[in-house]
Amino acid sequence: MMKSMFSGVSGLRAHQQRMDVIGNNVANVNTVGFKSSRVTFQEVFNQTLSGASAPDSSTSRGGTNPIQVGLGTSVGSVDTMMSTGSPERTDNATDLSISGAGFFIVRGSSADTYKFTRAGNFGLDKLGNLVSGSGYCVYGWQKKNEDGSFDTESPVEPINLYADSSNGNKRIIAANVTTRAAFSGNLNASNEALGAGATDTQFAVPFSVYDALGNSYELSVNFKKVSADDTGTTWEYTVTHDNGTDTPDTYALGEAGQVKFDTKGKIIEGSANTCKVDLDPATGAADFDINLNFNNLTMFAADSSVVPSDVNGYSTGTLTTFSIGSDGIITGIYSNGEQQSLGCIALASFSNPAGLEKVGDNLFIPTTNSGNFTKGLAAGTGGTGTLTPGTLEMSNVDLSSEFTNMIITQRGFQANSRIITTSDEMLQELVNLKR
């Protein structure tokens, strides 16, 4: 009878532990990136009262099975369920969820060990570090290859959107000098041919250019029709300052060029002359050349409509906002309309994710059964999923299953308590025999 009582005690203990796990699951039903757990039981061991015997054909005696009495139950495992939770839309630029396998890589400091999480509720601190809700730095790459892509083979590092050792200050995008200016549109074939010596301008096209320091200059391409015959039409152009005159003290804009059209108004000799902008040394910027391209011009009897279609170069810009792509690349958007990549978020992959150990704050650390963290992976590579910006992964707790398991666990606990009370009553009857 004592065996049955201790079996009941083991059942109470096992069901209590199962209830503890269920309670934790229900408590974390709204925890971002939470992975629920389940409990499985196993019998403890059995007392063998009689061993098995083999059948004896000589005596026509059959075999017997072993006679064993079980001695209770225990918790066999508490398994972490790594199924993916549903995404919850937040529209927050720094919120991320992983569509598939993988974990975000975070670390508290350079002396800390790497930790891993599915919770992508990130933000920026005042220094520009991308951090988790608990203040852990999010890791990825900032060093770039020569082609501008991120060096994903290099070790991961904390991501900072404002500055890093490889790119310097990322809050400001450096100016880019203008090197080309392409024009498209129509020149009016009905205009009078003025002759090569004429100084009049029949159509002017203003456009802006920038030096290497980001200073802006307003130039103008001035067209005039100089000749026309049965072989075609010739137009001449000059480049001047925006006040309509060439100002040698600031600009040496080059000699006049020509654009020729055939008798059908199609260009036959598009000019690609170089316009040199000779700056005053007081600006602190170097002189620069601009390649002028007029290959997309036409000449028909219609209003002149030439416009600058492709002029590169831009002034200095300051970081105004940023976005994160499904590949983990963070793109900064600047006040001058330009963009540049600021960093790339890395993911980690494990051979056995269920073998990771929970350490609180929605974080995991590797164990001997999960596999080691060797290197960061770009989202969508190495078996990892892609990122979904503006969303968070919800807890994978299924309340209907948890409540069902709660009822089963409660009944199991009650049944085991009845074993104890029944065994106690039987012992009481045994004691009463001497009365």
Which sequence spans correspond to the domains of the chain?
2-53+60-81+396-434, 87-170+321-393, 180-311
How many residues can be counted in the chain?
435
Burial of 34: CB neighbours in 10 Å, binned 0-12, 13-18, 19+ = buried
Using the predicted structure, report yes or no on whether residue 252 has a pLDDT greater than 60: no
In Å, what is the CA distance from 310 to each residue of 216, 430, 434?
A: 16, 102, 110
Asked if 112 and 73 count as a contact pair (C-beta separation under 8 A), the reply is: no
Using the predicted structure, report yes or no on whether residue 397 has a pLDDT greater than 70: yes
The token duo for 171 is: 């809050």
DSSP 11: H
| Residue (of 357, 353, 331, 325) closest to 343 by Cα position | 331
Phi, psi of 243 (to 5 degrees): -85, 5
| Residue (of 197, 208, 227) closest to 299 by Cα position | 227
CA 48, CA 70: separation in Å to the nearest integer?
Answer: 9
Taking the CA atoms of 242, 246, 249 and 251 in sequence, report the sign of the dihedral they define.
positive
Confidence at residue 110, expressed as pLDDT on a 0 to 100 scale: 84
| Residue (of 18, 44, 40) closest to 410 by Cα position | 18
Cβ-based neighbours of 180, under 8 Å, separated by 6 or more: 290, 291, 293, 310, 311, 312
Confidence at residue 249, expressed as pLDDT on a 0 to 100 scale: 42
As a whole-number percent, the residues of the chain with pLDDT over 90 amount to 69
| 106 pLDDT tier (thresholds 50, 70, 90) | very high
CA 264, CA 233: separation in Å to the nearest integer?
Answer: 10
What is the arithmetic mean of pLDDT over 152-162? Answer: 95
Using the predicted structure, report yes or no on whether residue 358 has a pLDDT greater than 80: yes
The token duo for 16 is: 């209590």
Asked if 290 and 273 count as a contact pair (C-beta separation under 8 A), the reply is: no
Give per-residue burial for 153-177: e unless 16+ CB within 10 Å, then b: eeebbbbbbbbbeeeeebbbbebbb
Confidence at residue 277, expressed as pLDDT on a 0 to 100 scale: 86
As a whole-number percent, the residues of the chain with pLDDT over 70 amount to 96
Compute the C-alpha angle 170/96/90, nearest 5°: 110
Asked if 317 and 338 count as a contact pair (C-beta separation under 8 A), the reply is: yes
What are the tens digits of pLDDT across the range 37-71? 999 999 887 788 888 889 988 888 888 888 888 88
pTM recorded for the entire structure:
0.81
CA 273, CA 203: separation in Å to the nearest integer?
Answer: 19
| 184 pLDDT tier (thresholds 50, 70, 90) | very high
Using DSSP's 3-state secondary structure scheme, residue 271 falls into coil
Place of tokens 């807890």: 395
What is the arithmetic mean of pLDDT over 215-237? Answer: 91
Confidence at residue 1, expressed as pLDDT on a 0 to 100 scale: 60
Strands (DSSP E) contained in 328-390 are: 329-334, 339-348, 357-360, 363-365, 377-378, 386-389
Confidence at residue 246, expressed as pLDDT on a 0 to 100 scale: 46
Question: 138: which strand partners?
Answer: 106
Place of tokens 């100084």: 199
User: Which amino acid type is present at position 275?
Assistant: C
Using the predicted structure, report yes or no on whether residue 253 has a pLDDT greater than 70: no
Chain centroid to Cα 2, Å, comes to 61
CA 387, CA 377: separation in Å to the nearest integer?
Answer: 12
Using the predicted structure, report yes or no on whether residue 244 has a pLDDT greater than 70: no
Phi, psi of 419 (to 5 degrees): -60, -45
Place of tokens 């919770």: 119
Mean pLDDT estimate for the chain: 90
Cβ-based neighbours of 4, under 8 Å, separated by 6 or more: 419, 422, 423
Packing angle between helix 399-431 and helix 2-27, nearest 10 degrees? Answer: 160
Using DSSP's 3-state secondary structure scheme, residue 16 falls into helix
What are the tens digits of pLDDT across the range 273-330? 788 888 888 888 898 999 999 999 999 999 999 999 999 999 999 999 999 999 999 9
Q: Which CATH superfamily is domain 180-311 in?
A: Flagellar hook protein FlgE (2.60.98.20)
Using the predicted structure, report yes or no on whether residue 211 has a pLDDT greater than 50: yes
| Residue (of 9, 4, 8, 12) closest to 410 by Cα position | 12
Compute the C-alpha angle 79/116/144, nearest 5°: 150
Place of tokens 């994160």: 324
Confidence at residue 44, expressed as pLDDT on a 0 to 100 scale: 87
